[in-house]
Amino acid sequence: MMLSAAAGFIYQSEKYSRENAGQSLKKYTLLKRGEVAYNHGASKLRQFGCCFELTIPEARIPYVYHTFKISDENCYTPYIAQLLNNPLIDRQLKRLVSSSVRMDGLLNISYDEYMTVDLHLPERAEQEKIEHFLSLLNERIKKQQRLVEALKSYKRGVIERIFSDDNCRTWKRIKLSEILSERKEYCEKDGTFVHATLSKDGVSEKTDRYDRDFLVTTEEKKYKVTHKNDLCYNPANLKFGVICVNDFGDAIFSPIYITFEICPSVEPHFLGMQVMRWNFINRALRFQQGTVYERTAVSPEDLLSMSIVLPPMEIQRKVSNAVQVLSTKISIAECIGERMSKLKSALLSQLFI
């Protein structure tokens, strides 16, 4: 098994599609139920590593993890494991890091150094009550995440059924060039439009994560304009699913992106459902050009040469409205999950002072 900052102990096959131990167990430590492991590997979720208690009878884990058992009767192991994952502990861990992350991704925090971390503990009975409450909250968050994934899976299944051969046989086949026209409208970043970015999650306002304006050497740079219900895609990242209908609204984004105006006789989201399917994307990838994988791209001319099927507008609207109901349910479920996670973070910041 291995330690995941998001899920705790997981089987290696869950991440790597196979077990990495092979026949040799020399580089693995046998951990028993109730013992604790600290993975001092940096990750996006846990910059200074993660710590979890093993709750199954036993498991073999990479020997590079720091493992220990809490023997003090005044300490409740599940509570200690929760406490060691608190951001306030990161302040102490940060001081222990002697240099940058190693080539193998591990922080230079030795076992002895990790054992110097100071903990402030309430009475054992209070530790148990706090941990029990946090466990219930964690389980509720996990159930909400499973609900979101189930709804997304159901939505994908519904869309695949809609565009199955049985349904599409009588629909009209039409080339994208007949219903799309490339929008070549440009504007400087002067406040007229919101500055946006394009990812597999759609068009969204540009944040610090994607901000590369410091690379722009002139204030007169022209950005491409996109409007609500345009079809947008990134020619170089189509292989990652970066194609969508613009639900965000009027905005400017990088001129490397392509944005199409959709013919009024086509329901935008019905079109979006078709072109966002991996069946369509994989067909489009046959047009990729370029010698380096990272720079391979599908040109707008090649994309426009492809065809899709369209039923009468009445059916397009009915299908789009039905799928939109599912999308709304997913958004609500995700919002509830995000609020639960924020509640947990707020509680942790108050509990472990």
Interval 118-127: pLDDT, tens = 988 899 999 9
Note whether 142 and 88 are same-domain residues: no
CATH number at residue 41: 3.90.220
Domain boundary among 121, 156, 184: 121
The range of the structural domain enclosing residue 93 comes to: 2-121
The label of the residue with tokens 């009475």 reads 123
Question: What does the pLDDT read at residue 89?
Answer: 86
For 194-249, the pLDDT digits (tens) are 999 999 999 999 875 555 554 444 556 899 999 999 999 999 999 999 999 999 99
pLDDT-wise least confident of 24-28, 72-76, 162-166, 256-260: 24-28
pLDDT tier at 46, thresholds 50, 70, 90: confident
Question: What does the pLDDT read at residue 90?
Answer: 86
Q: Report how many domains make up the chain.
A: 3
Distance of CA 12 to the CA centre of its chain: 20
The strand pairing partners of 153, in sequence order, are none
Whether 23 has a pLDDT exceeding 60, the answer reads no
Any residues with CB less than 8 A from the CB of 54 and at least 6 apart, and which?
9, 31, 32, 33, 34, 35, 36, 37
Backbone CA torsion sign across 309, 314, 317, 323: negative
Note whether 133 and 146 are same-domain residues: yes
Do residues 48 and 93 lie in contact, with contact meaning Cβ atoms separated by under 8 Å?
yes
Question: What does the pLDDT read at residue 313?
Answer: 95
For 276-326, the pLDDT digits (tens) are 999 999 999 999 998 777 789 999 999 999 999 999 999 999 999 999 999
Note whether 322 and 350 are same-domain residues: yes
Percent of the chain with pLDDT over 70: 90
Note whether 34 and 153 are same-domain residues: no
CATH number at residue 353: 1.10.287.1120
Q: Strand ranges (DSSP E) for the chain?
A: 2-4, 8-10, 28-32, 36-39, 50-53, 58-62, 66-68, 172-175, 180-182, 186-188, 194-199, 202-205, 222-226, 231-233, 243-245, 251-253, 258-262, 307-310
Q: In the chain, count of helices (H) and strands (E)? A: 10, 18
Note whether 134 and 46 are same-domain residues: no
Note whether 316 and 258 are same-domain residues: no
Note whether 179 and 292 are same-domain residues: yes
For 73-114, the pLDDT digits (tens) are 899 999 999 888 887 888 888 888 865 555 445 788 899 999
Note whether 189 and 283 are same-domain residues: yes
Note whether 186 and 335 are same-domain residues: no
For residues 153-178, give the mean pLDDT.
92
Note whether 288 and 209 are same-domain residues: yes
Domain boundary among 273, 294, 309: 309
CATH number at residue 293: 3.90.220.20
Question: What does the pLDDT read at residue 167?
Answer: 83
For residues 44-65, give the mean pLDDT.
90
Note whether 46 and 161 are same-domain residues: no
Note whether 85 and 158 are same-domain residues: no
